[in-house]
Structure 1
Amino acid sequence: MSTQAWSVSADQKFAESEIGRRITVLKTEGSASQRRLSDLILQDPVFVATRGIEDLSAATGISAATISRYVKEIGVDGYAQFRAQVAEAVHELIVPVSKLGLRFSAPGPGPGAAGESLASAHAQMQLLTDAEMLRAISTACKLIADARQVWVMGFGLSAHLAAILSLGLQPYREGVHSVVDLGGTEAAAARLVAVSESDLLIAITFPRYSADVVPLTRYCKENGARVLGLTDARVAPIVPHCSELLLAPAAHPVLSSSSLPGLALIEALVSEFIISDVENIKRSEKLATALACFVSG
């Protein structure tokens, strides 16, 4: 894929561009191959803007002829013009952060898997500090404060992120529930029966996305709850069912996804929530007193 990092705000801006909107329509309403193409283009428009039709065919497993028909369906005469329009849309949005391909081109031995992983984590963490992310965190804090109850849900590796978020919030407001606990998906669904229109669901999912999170997120939305999604891209499967989004990049040079940006975003969210209410000073004192007998140093 592309060797330049794609920021959270750039993801939204590309989706809202003229070419991005047309691609989004086919992602929702197109054939299976059109949806697959749309997913890749929305996730990595830099790749499309810098590669030929054969490269896109190899990346998606879709024939060049089918890609040409897709381009015409969008309203563009040919792939070269399509690539130029995508390039124009992303030109001002690409964050100039080199990724791992550039490291391999440097003289001397490669960094190895550990070095690649650490370099990738460092680069992606830098993408979380833009002004739009800070506004999104502020909005999320208000949703958490205003909700009657807060339900935090994540499956697979995202279950650990959900647990960290739940534990971070529980000392500072009542009614924070971890959805995924003993009993698996069926028990999680049973817990969510209590969700109402005054509640907030925080749904967390990163690649590989759990199939279970989508129907449960949709159920909560249909029952009137606000839904805050914490995921990696606007093409993630929970996005159509979310009221608000917090996006953290999750690419990793070896693993299916990285949890570090998501964890950093959770820590930032909890920190912002704690300082948003002066009463949390008293709650912090109570927490310190309660833990005093169980910690050392």
Structure 2
Amino acid sequence: MSDSPDSPPDAEPSIAARIAAALPSLTPIHRRMGEYVLANPFRAATMRIDELANAVDASIATANRFARALGFDGYPALRAALVRGFEATLAPVERLRSAQEHEAGARGGELIDASFEQALANLERTRARLDRANVEAAVDSLLAARRIFIVGMGASAFLAGLMEHGLSVYRDNVQSLALLGGPTDAARRLFSARGDDLVVAIAFPRYVHDTIELTRRAAERGAPVLAITDGPDSPVAPFAARALFVHAERRLAATSEAAVLALVEALIDAVAHRSQRSARAAAEVTEFMLPWLEARGACAAPPHPPRRSRKTDR
């Protein structure tokens, strides 16, 4: 599980201190507003002034007076102080809110074009910053590892699953640890990781605490870590023996999974190309899967094996 969103490191305690100091002198409605902010600091940080006022059955003017009673110039200054402890977490929310306010007339086609343009820009910037020698070494580590454990929680769990899906054709022991058993089951599996294994950690904003903790513990046990993340300031970067950085900005959300997936697929392709029997392995897997595949224009295998007759041949 990730850290509670109602526990920002910096701004929220100062707001709490202001409210606590002012409570004895606040009017009943201001006291109710203060109690609401104390109980819901993250939610309050995302609210417009009318939304906070409605939440406690008060007026907009009352919300402004409440902010001034705490020593702020008005509600915008109060909200800015609340947001300050949640910048990274709230950034996608603020970008979406801003886009809705300033681009209200944008049509679907324009928004889709903008999304594609950003995806292309992410790919170009990622390719430009990748060091070829570092990428080659990452592929070497994927080929040499006895076992590959892939750690990714939150949205990165889906990327971890796709990486496992792609690599498992060419490598015998690949495990995505984004399992139904949760982080404790992932930790249990990582307990056996050692120096000839490889842990792939996928982590992007908004970082999930489980990914960071599992990566840290794996590294402490001596397992080499390949980090796929957004930059050297990522919380998993210090634990990585090697890191590949992806530019994954997304205008109206936290991360562009498309850019990360492109790198994941590139690594899978490189492993496939360099694996000695990858073509044969891919052919064998495809043949095994034929009963479940639509093989148009070919004499496909029947969807179910023919039933044996109960009569024996004489």
User: 1:252 corresponds to which residue?
Assistant: 250
Count how many residue pairs are aligned between Structure 1 and Structure 2. Answer: 198
User: 1:190 corresponds to which residue?
Assistant: 188
SS of alignment partner, residue 268 of structure 2: helix
| CA contact 2:143–2:275 (8 Å) conserved in 1 | no
- 1:160 positional shift: 0.3
- 1:113 positional shift: 3.1
User: 2:287 corresponds to which residue?
Assistant: 289
| CA contact 1:152–1:178 (8 Å) conserved in 2 | yes
- Choose 1 or 2 for highest CA Rg: 2
Q: Residues 56-205 of structure 1 correspond to what in structure 2 (within 5 A)?
A: 61=84, 112-130=110-128, 132-205=130-203
| CA contact 2:150–2:200 (8 Å) conserved in 1 | yes
| CA contact 1:113–1:254 (8 Å) conserved in 2 | no
**Quick one: distance in 1 between partners of 2:184 and 2:230?**
26
1:2-29 CA distances to partner (integer Å, 9 max, x unpaired)?
xxxxxxxxxxxxxxxxxxxxxxxxxxxx
**Quick one: distance in 1 between partners of 2:119 and 2:160?**
20
> What TM-score does the superposition give when structure 1 sets the normalisation length?
0.61
Which amino acid letter does the alignment assign opposite residue 247 of structure 1? F
Which amino acid letter does the alignment assign opposite residue 178 of structure 2? V
> What TM-score does the superposition give when structure 2 sets the normalisation length?
0.58
**Quick one: distance in 2 between partners of 1:220 and 1:178?**
14
Alpha-carbon distance change, 235 to 120 in structure 1, aligned in 2, over 3 angstroms: same
User: 1:70 corresponds to which residue?
Assistant: none
1:49-68 CA distances to partner (integer Å, 9 max, x unpaired)?
xxxxxxxx99x959xxxxxx
- 1:137 positional shift: 2.5
Question: Over aligned residues, Cα RMSD in angstroms?
Answer: 2.5
1:111-135 CA distances to partner (integer Å, 9 max, x unpaired)?
7433322211111111233384443
Q: Which 5+ residue runs of structure 1 have no aligned equivalent? A: 1-31, 34-56, 63-107
- 1:263 positional shift: 0.2
**Quick one: distance in 2 between partners of 1:216 and 1:109?**
42
| CA contact 2:226–2:243 (8 Å) conserved in 1 | yes
**Quick one: distance in 1 between partners of 2:203 and 2:147?**
20
